[in-house]
Each structure stands twice: as structure tokens, then as C-alpha cells.
Structure 1
Amino acid sequence: MVMDILGLIVVGLIIGALARLIRPGKQSMSIVATMLLGVVGALIGGFIASLLGTGGIFELNVLGFILAVVAAVILVGIYAGTTGGRNRAVR
């Protein structure tokens, strides 16, 4: 159980970092936010992949990984869109 959680955190960091690299523009978010968005993206990608019959939600497969990165890119975009207004200077 502890190894599953640690694995999910590591995968979340990797997927979150990839999502931030793929999404254009500057995202000012912490490493914790990156990890959390990556973990949520990994869970969404794994869930969709399991619905498509490619394995379980926590199994690492190509389709699940791709879907996880796509989900994380969308989540990073939503995060940047909702918090971007607070970080801009008022003119």
C-alpha cells in the first residue's frame, strides 16, 4: 500500500512535469501543485484506459500514460486559467 502511494506520487510528478512542458506559456505553480495535477491526471488517464479495456486503473500502459498526460495538460491549463488573473500586474 505504501509503495503504491509512493509510486503514484512519482508518476504524478513525472506526468505533471510533462504536462507543464507540453502546455505553452508560463505556469507559476509549486511542485506540490504540479504533483497533485499529475496524480489527478494519472488517475483520470488510468480510469479511461481501464474503461477501454487496456488494464486496471493503476497499471502502467502506453494508452493510460498518454491519456494521463493529456488529462494533466488540460488540468494545468485550467489551473493556469483560474489562477493567472491573480498573478498579473494591474495596469
Structure 2
Amino acid sequence: MDATSLLVFLIIGALAGWLAGVVMKGRGFGILVNMIVGVLGAFLGGWLLPMLGVQFAGSIGVFITAFLGAVVLLAIIALIKRA
């Protein structure tokens, strides 16, 4: 992965985290943390979705994967925070 690809991946993850924070109202942790969760969610989605037999192609697919991973990660963090 070259520097440009890494930068694009980080931007897509940050946008997905921000959007996941908007969708999961009340479960977000502020824009900066949600962006970090989005990047981590991109890794989670990239690992979890293929295990479930779901794969998306192209740049939109990467964003959808990052978004779904961020939503799952925000939900898990919210459950842990609640306990």
C-alpha cells in the first residue's frame, strides 16, 4: 500500500466514522473519536464482511464496508460504555 492509498483509506474511514456517528445518534463520541472509530471500523468491516460472505467492489464498496464496520464498532463501544 503506497502513501496515496493509505491517505485515501484514512479519509474514507474518517468520513464513514463521521456518518456512523450521525446515524447512531446518542452513541457517538464526538467528531474526532467517531472518525478514529471509522478508520478502525474500516478494518473491522474489511475483516468481518467477507467472513459473512458479503463483499462490495470499488470505492463505494470500501466506503460501505467502512461505514458498516464503524456502526458495528460504535454499537459495541456503546454497550461496553453502558455496562
Matched, 1:44 2:16: no
Whole-Å separation in 2 of the counterparts to 1:54 and 1:27: 25
The percentage of aligned residue pairs carrying the same residue is 27
Contact 2:41 2:66 in 1 (8 A): yes
| CA RMSD between the two structures | 2.9
Change (3 A) 1:24 1:9: same
Change (3 A) 1:67 1:3: closer
Query: 1:6-85 counterparts in 2 under 5 A?
Result: 6-29=7-30, 31=32, 33-47=33-47, 48=49, 52=54, 54-55=56-57, 59-62=58-61, 64-84=62-82
**Unaligned stretches of 5+ in structure 2?**
none
Of 10-19 and 74-83, deviating more is: 74-83
Contact 1:45 1:65 in 2 (8 A): no
Change (3 A) 1:53 1:15: closer
Select the structure of larger CA radius of gyration.
Answer: 1
Whole-Å separation in 2 of the counterparts to 1:24 and 1:34: 12
TM-score (norm 1): 0.62
Whole-Å separation in 1 of the counterparts to 2:29 and 2:56: 35
The structure with more helix, counted as a fraction of residues: 2
TM-score (norm 2): 0.66
- Larger RCO, structures 1/2 (Cα 8 Å, 6+ apart): 2
Contact 1:46 1:65 in 2 (8 A): no
What is the number of residues matched between the two proteins? 80
